[in-house]
């Protein structure tokens, strides 16, 4: 099935991942409704689409069921990205995280099955693996959550299973692993590590690392995530709830990430002491130590391939952020 002539609701569509999805769905010929309350997203992420005849933006909150019902009217598919991200934010403001991520998701599901939506694809997270130490992470083995954020995503997955069981809503959960790329917001205490590092380099500051930097992540370039979403929306699989890791299938330490970025910025870094350009701080509460995905299930069942490698993605991200800085100062 192609997306041409489908009508897709993208919640959180003004955010980092959601805006790339909106771009791609429009490019595929779909009609797109973007629902976003702009709490962590930006109109500038979707301004290129604002005048498009197949694009509608609704500023609204997924915690309001009527808003969700209005947004999903006539949609055949839903791509649910709206959530409050960040482990530290969820420890500081658990009530916000739980209400947006869980109640918001329940509303989107309820509105979707009442409207007769054919497929709901939703953003889950590698954080659901919690305290499981086995690597690589495989879908059936999840642990105790280490933060309210992880709990909210585990609850989301459990609720999606209920929707499939009782209401026949076809759901696919995608467990994203550390997504990065253009448009990811670099500022504030809850920024992800790659945009935070790039911003620090731009401002000629040292890279701030939480802990000893030995923690590892499966950094995944945005184009791979968009491709996985497209496959999940169009897959003809019959099971009513499926979960997939969406990652690059590689393991990179935060120290290695810092060194790669320093190399991209400073050609001569091989001759200098990289560690002078890094500041180590305390380990962050609630963080998983090692995160590395087995992507076999998504490969076999969806035909997913992470076409953009970590290093290629990093190069593209740096180039895009530098171009932005030159354009906007
Ligand atoms: N970026 C990652 O590495 C990563 C990893 C795992 C999971 N995820 C998940 O992917 C999804 C998208 O994340 P992102 O990185 O693009 O974050 P983001 O903050 O850029 O995007 C989230 C969007 O949701 C919107 N939103 C938040 N609360 C809302 C509400 N109550 N009603 C309507 N809209 C609301 C925000 O304004 C924002 O535009 C989230 O569900 C996140 O938990 C992201």
Cα 288 to chain centroid distance, Å, stands at: 17
Q: Residue 193: CB within 6 Å of ligand 1? A: no
The structural domains of the chain, with segments of one domain joined by +, span 7-182+220-248+293-307
Q: Three-state SS for 12?
A: coil
Give the model's pLDDT for residue 239: 76
pLDDT, tens digit (0-9, with 9 covering 90-100), for 160-190? 999 999 999 999 999 999 999 999 998 888 9
Which are the catalytic amino acids?
A: 149
Inter-residue contact 29 to 234 (CB < 8 Å): no
Q: Which residues of 68-91 are buried (b: 16+ CB within 10 A; e: fewer)?
A: beebbeebbbbbbbbbbbbbbbbb
Ligand 1 neighbour 41 (Cβ under 6 A): yes
CA of 61 to the centre of ligand 1 (A): 13
Q: Whose CA is nearest to atom 19 of ligand 1?
A: 40
Q: Which residue's C-alpha comes closest to atom 2 of ligand 1?
A: 179
pLDDT value, residue 236: 84
- Give the Å distance between the CA of 276 and the centre of ligand 1: 34
The alpha carbon of 106 and the centre of ligand 1 are apart by a number of angstroms equal to 16
Whether ligand 1 lies within 6 angstroms of the CB of 63 is answered as: yes
Q: Which residues contact 127 (CB under 8 A, 6 or more apart)?
A: 87, 145, 146, 147, 149, 150, 153, 288
Measured in Å, residue 268 CA sits from the centre of ligand 1 at 37
Tell me the three state secondary structure of residue 165: helix
Q: What is the third-level CATH fold of 7-182+220-248+293-307?
A: Rossmann fold (3.40.50)
What does the pLDDT read at residue 140? 97
> Looking at ligand 1, which atom is closest to the CA of residue 179?
3
* Whether residue 61 has its Cβ less than 6 Å from ligand 1: yes
Task: Select from 16, 78, 187, 222 the residue to mutate for testing ligand 1; criterion: most ligand atoms less than 8 Å from CB.
Answer: 16
181 lines ligand 1 (CB under 6 A): no
Tell me if the pTM is above 0.95: yes
Please tell me the predicted confidence (pLDDT) of residue 277.
Answer: 87
pLDDT of res. 274: 57
How many residues can be counted in the chain?
329
Question: How far apart are the CA of 17 and the centre of ligand 1, in A?
Answer: 7
Q: Which atom of ligand 1 is nearest to the CA of 15?
A: 39
Regions of the chain where pLDDT drops below 50:
268, 271
Compute the distance from residue 261 Cα to the ligand 1 centre, in Å: 25
Q: Which pLDDT does position 323 carry in this prediction?
A: 79
Provide the H-helix boundaries in 142-221. Answer: 148-167, 193-202
């Amino acid at each position: 099935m192609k997306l041409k002539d489908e009508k897709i609701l993208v919640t959180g569509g003004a955010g980092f991942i959601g805006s790339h999805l909106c771009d791609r769905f429009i490019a595929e010929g779909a009609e797109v409704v973007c629902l976003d309350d702009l709490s962590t997203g930006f109109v500038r992420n979707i301004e290129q689409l604002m005048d498009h005849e197949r694009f509608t933006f609704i500023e609204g909150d997924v915690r309001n069921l009527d808003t969700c019902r209005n947004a999903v009217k006539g949609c055949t598919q839903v791509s649910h990205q709206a959530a409050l991200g960040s482990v530290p934010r969820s420890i500081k403001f658990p009530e916000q995280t739980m209400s947006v991520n869980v109640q918001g998701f329940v509303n989107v599901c309820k509105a979707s099955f009442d409207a007769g939506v054919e497929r709901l694809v939703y953003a889950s997270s590698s954080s659901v693996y919690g305290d499981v130490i086995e690597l690589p992470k495989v879908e059936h083995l999840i642990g105790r959550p280490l933060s309210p954020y992880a709990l909210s995503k585990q609850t989301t997955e459990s609720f999606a299973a209920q929707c499939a069981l009782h209401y026949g809503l076809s759901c696919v959960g995608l467990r994203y692993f550390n997504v990065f790329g253009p448009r990811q917001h670099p500022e504030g205490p809850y920024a992800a590590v790659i945009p935070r590092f790039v911003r620090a380099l731009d401002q000629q500051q040292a890279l701030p690392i939480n802990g000893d930097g030995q923690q590892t992540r499966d950094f995944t370039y945005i184009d791979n995530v968009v491709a996985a979403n497209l496959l999940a929306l169009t897959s003809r699989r019959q099971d009513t709830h499926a979960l997939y890791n969406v990652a690059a299938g590689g393991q990179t330490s935060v120290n290695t990430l810092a060194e790669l970025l320093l190399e991209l910025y400073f050609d001569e870094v091989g001759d200098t002491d990289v560690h002078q350009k890094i500041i180590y701080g305390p380990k962050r509460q609630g963080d998983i130590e090692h995160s590395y995905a087995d992507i076999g299930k998504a490969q076999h069942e969806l035909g997913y391939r992470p076409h953009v490698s970590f290093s290629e993605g990093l190069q593209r991200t740096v180039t895009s952020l530098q171009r932005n800085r030159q354009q906007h100062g």
